[in-house]
């Protein structure tokens, strides 16, 4: 029987235009799992020696095959904005002080993975050392990336400049920040502001970055954000 099956030619006509050989007939039977996931539908043509039972098994197997997802026209699209919960006004300096929120929204084309985010602070204080300590990036209240020990006030660039400053800090987040297509995720920056005094002001910005976003179907790259987005000015009481 195996010799007979091996001699049978099964031709799969692929409507997707791909030329992929059919699975061998010997693999069709109990427990057979289709593997050609890019076949949308197919027609099985065989010689007359193929039994009706075998033909039915092959047709059923082909009917289960699904196409790979395709990126839509707005693939590789992500928009960034200041979040509505971004703190403002007067706050008490403390450990893990929330300093800003930003919303990242993916287009309807595909999921978008954000690999890193860069931030800048401008701190107006009466002391020479203008520093925030133990800076963290939070997603849904959970820290992503590693804690950055210090973030100093920008050395040269303004809060909204797209040009990198030597005191900017970058969080590398690996696979922790994937925005579902059509969805939005919000990130917060928190830091210890206990070294600051009443009357000092702090403003944090999400700084322009290049090629830090990758579409999960198309592999298209994007920038998040395309232009620096400043949070609100916060005054320490």
- List where CATH 2.60.40 sits in the chain: 78-236
Contact assessment for residue 86 and residue 205, using Cβ atoms and an 8 Å cutoff: no
- Average pLDDT (96-104) is 97
Q: What stretches of 1-95 show up as alpha helix (H) in DSSP? A: 2-6, 52-63
The predicted pLDDT at position 37 comes to 39
Q: Which two structure tokens, joined as six digits, stand for 208?
A: 């322009």
Q: In the predicted model, what is the mean pLDDT of the chain?
A: 80
Identify the residue with better confidence: 61 or 107: 107
> Averaged over 56-70, what is the pLDDT?
68
Q: How many CA atoms lie within 13 A of 21 on its CB side?
A: 4
**pLDDT digit string, tens, across residues 48-61:** 566 777 777 777 77
Does this model's pTM top 0.95?
no
Q: Which residue has the higher pLDDT, 166 or 53?
A: 166
Q: Which one of 3.40.50, 2.60.40, 2.60.120, 3.10.50 gives the CATH number of domain 78-236? A: 2.60.40
What's 25's DSSP letter? G
Q: Looking at residue 58, what is its pLDDT?
A: 73
Average pLDDT (140-164) is 95
**Per-residue pLDDT tens over the stretch 167-202:** 999 999 999 999 999 999 999 999 999 888 889 999
Q: What share of the chain is helix, strand, coil (3-state, %, to 5)?
A: 10, 40, 55
């Amino acid at each position: 029987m195996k010799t007979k099956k091996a001699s049978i030619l099964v031709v799969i006509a692929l409507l997707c235009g791909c030329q992929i050989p059919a699975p061998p007939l010997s693999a069709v039977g109990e427990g057979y799992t289709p593997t050609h996931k890019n076949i949308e539908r197919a027609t099985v043509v065989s010689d007359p020696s193929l039994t009706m039972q075998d033909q039915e098994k092959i047709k059923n197997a082909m009917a289960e095959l699904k196409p790979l997802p395709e990126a839509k026209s707005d693939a590789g699209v992500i928009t960034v904005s200041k979040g509505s919960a971004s703190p403002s006004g007067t706050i008490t300096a403390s450990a893990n002080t929330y300093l800003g929120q930003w919303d990242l929204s993916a287009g309807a084309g595909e999921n978008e993975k954000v690999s890193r985010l860069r931030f800048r602070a401008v701190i107006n204080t009466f002391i020479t050392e203008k520093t925030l300590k133990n800076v963290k990036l939070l997603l849904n209240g959970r820290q992503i990336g590693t804690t950055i020990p210090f973030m100093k006030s920008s050395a040269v660039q303004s809060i909204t400049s797209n040009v990198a400053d030597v005191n900017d800090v970058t969080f590398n987040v690996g696979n922790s920040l994937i925005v579902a297509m059509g969805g939005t995720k919000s990130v917060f920056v928190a830091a210890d502001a206990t070294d600051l005094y009443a009357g000092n002001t702090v403003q944090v910005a999400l700084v322009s970055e290049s090629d830090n976003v990758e579409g999960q179907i198309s592999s298209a790259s994007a920038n998040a954000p395309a232009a620096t987005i400043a949070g609100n000015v916060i005054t320490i009481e």
